[in-house]
Structure 1
Amino acid sequence: MKQQSYENHTRYHPLQHFIWLPLSLVTLISSIIYAGIAIKNGKFSLNVFLILALVVLSIIAGMLARMNALTVQNRLIRVEEQFRHYVLTNEPIDPRLTLPQLIALRFASDEEFPALAKKAAQNKMNPDEIKKAITYWRADEHRV
């Protein structure tokens, strides 16, 4: 497996990004067009409504599943990074750090993590700046 770095840390889930999302978009557009044609022709019925409703509900269900998994993942990252900081420094992490900053800091090696966390809090660094400041990348291969 290729060494993870700033340039290649973005992760795509093929079923999510290349199958579910495009098919959802095509299905949604098609069902809206179908409903529009039915309305225009005076043939809008319960069946047309149900098709449109099922498409929208299936997209919402998929989006909620993804959002809920990411919410849990973000909560875990926050706890892990707070704990890692405490283990490394015997001090709590700076409470000024935001969740997006902590998510970015998870890629920092143990050697540079405490100093970078302090710098990120003091300078209000954005997540992209934090990632670019990392010298020794700590791979995260278990993301959702």
Structure 2
Amino acid sequence: MKKQNYKNHRKYYPPHHFIYLPLLILLEVLGVYNIWNDPQHKLVWILFSIIISLLFYLAIMVRQHYALGIQNRVVILEFRQRYFEMFNTRSDDVVEKLSFSQIAALRFAEDEEFKELLYKALHENISGDEIKRSITIWKPDHQRV
């Protein structure tokens, strides 16, 4: 992975930002233009424009995907904070050894179980699903999107 700096820190999804959305905008302009300039096929162009508008709406809904990405980042930050509060040390090495699934699963464990399950995740490499199944005192997360 490239080292991040000011010039490359922005994240774009090229198929979405530079192909799909501009193409949809272009097609919508074409459809609306032809509604007025091709009276013989006006109904076809109206239908075409409606379909493109729906696709554009779906493309905007992809923002939910971005929200989940941000939420996953928050889950990792919460793990780091909890780890620091419990062990009074940074969690950089630990986070690198765990998968996101394991980190996300550990947030459901109460503090004592957290320590035990973290040990198992690090030394026995148990999966996130196994961590969740092992939890006896469930700490709910009602804010997950």
TM-score normalized by structure 1?
0.63
Shift of 1:108: 0.6
Equivalent position to 1:74, from 69, 72, 75: 72
Q: How many residues align?
A: 101
Secondary structure at the counterpart of residue 111 of structure 1: helix
Residue 121 of structure 2 aligns with an amino acid whose one-letter code is A
- Quote the residue 1:121 is aligned against: 122
- Quote the residue 1:16 is aligned against: none
- Quote the residue 1:29 is aligned against: none
Structure 2: distance between partners of 1:87 and 1:69: 27
- Quote the residue 1:13 is aligned against: none
- Quote the residue 1:50 is aligned against: 49
Structure 1: distance between partners of 2:121 and 2:56: 41
Structure 1 91/119 Cα, relative in aligned 2: closer, same or farther at 3 Å? Answer: farther
Residue 55 of structure 2 aligns with an amino acid whose one-letter code is V
- Quote the residue 1:86 is aligned against: 84
Shift of 1:141: 1.5
Structure 2: distance between partners of 1:54 and 1:124: 47
- Quote the residue 2:135 is aligned against: 134
Structure 1: distance between partners of 2:76 and 2:134: 20
Report which of the two has the higher share of helix: 2
Secondary structure at the counterpart of residue 108 of structure 2: coil
Residue 88 of structure 1 aligns with an amino acid whose one-letter code is M
Shift of 1:60: 2.1
Unaligned runs of 5+ in 2: 1-40
Q: Name the % identity.
A: 34
Structure 2: distance between partners of 1:90 and 1:74: 23
Residue 65 of structure 2 aligns with an amino acid whose one-letter code is M
- Quote the residue 1:39 is aligned against: none
* Residue 107 (str. 1) matches residue 108 (str. 2): yes
Residue 121 of structure 1 aligns with an amino acid whose one-letter code is L
* Contact 1:85-1:113 within 8 A present in 2 as well: no
- Aligned-pair Cα RMSD in Å: 1.8
Residue 113 of structure 1 aligns with an amino acid whose one-letter code is F
Structure 1: distance between partners of 2:143 and 2:120: 26
* Contact 1:108-1:137 within 8 A present in 2 as well: yes
Deviations 1:56-108 (A, max 9, x none): 1212212x221122111110110111110111012333120111211111101
